Structure 1
Amino acid sequence: MLKDFAAQDASPIVYIIDDDVLIRASLDTLLRSVGLRVRAFEGTEDFKTALIEDVPCCLLLDVRLRGESGLMFQHREHACLSMPIIFMSGHADIHACVSAMKAGAIDFLTKPIAEQQVIDAVIGALNMDAQRREGVRARATAVDTFERLTPREREILVHVVAGAPNKRIAASLGISEITVKAHRASVMRKMNARSLPDLVRASQLAGVTPVSCC
Structure 2
Amino acid sequence: MESASELVYVVDDDERVREALAALLRASGRDVQTFNSGEEFLDTQHQNVIACLILDMRMPGMSGLEVQKLVSRDSQIPVIFITGRADVPSTVLAMKGGAIDFLTKPLDEDALMRVVDAAIARAHVLRKEAEDTALLQALHQSLTPREQELLPLLASGRLNKQAADTPCRYIAATS
Q: TM-score, normalised by structure 1?
A: 0.69
Q: Match of 2:100, as an amino acid?
A: I
Alpha-carbon spacing, 1:28–1:140, altered in 2? closer, same or farther (3 Å): same
Map 1:130-145 → 2, pairs under 5 A: 130-145=124-139
1:90, 1:38 → 2: CA distance? 22
Alpha-carbon spacing, 1:99–1:164, altered in 2? closer, same or farther (3 Å): closer
2:102, 2:86 → 1: CA distance? 10
Q: Point out the more displaced range, 158-167 or 59-68.
A: 158-167
Map 1:38-117 → 2, pairs under 5 A: 38-117=32-111
Give 1:192's aligned residue. Answer: none
Give 1:122's aligned residue. Answer: 116
Distance apart, 1:76 and its partner CA = 4.8
CA RMSD of aligned residues (A): 2.2
Equivalent residue in structure 1 for 2:8, among 9, 14, 32:
14
In structure 1, stretches of 5+ residues that fail to align are: 175-214
Q: Does 1:33 align with 2:27?
A: yes
1:151, 1:99 → 2: CA distance? 44
Identity %: 38
1:143, 1:38 → 2: CA distance? 33
2:34, 2:111 → 1: CA distance? 19
CA contact (8 A) 2:71 2:77 kept: no
1:156, 1:68 → 2: CA distance? 49
1:68, 1:155 → 2: CA distance? 47
In structure 2, stretches of 5+ residues that fail to align are: 168-175
1:72, 1:149 → 2: CA distance? 41
2:75, 2:63 → 1: CA distance? 16
Alpha-carbon spacing, 1:173–1:68, altered in 2? closer, same or farther (3 Å): closer
Give 2:144's aligned residue. Answer: 150
Q: TM-score, normalised by structure 2?
A: 0.83
Partner of 2:32, secondary structure, is: strand
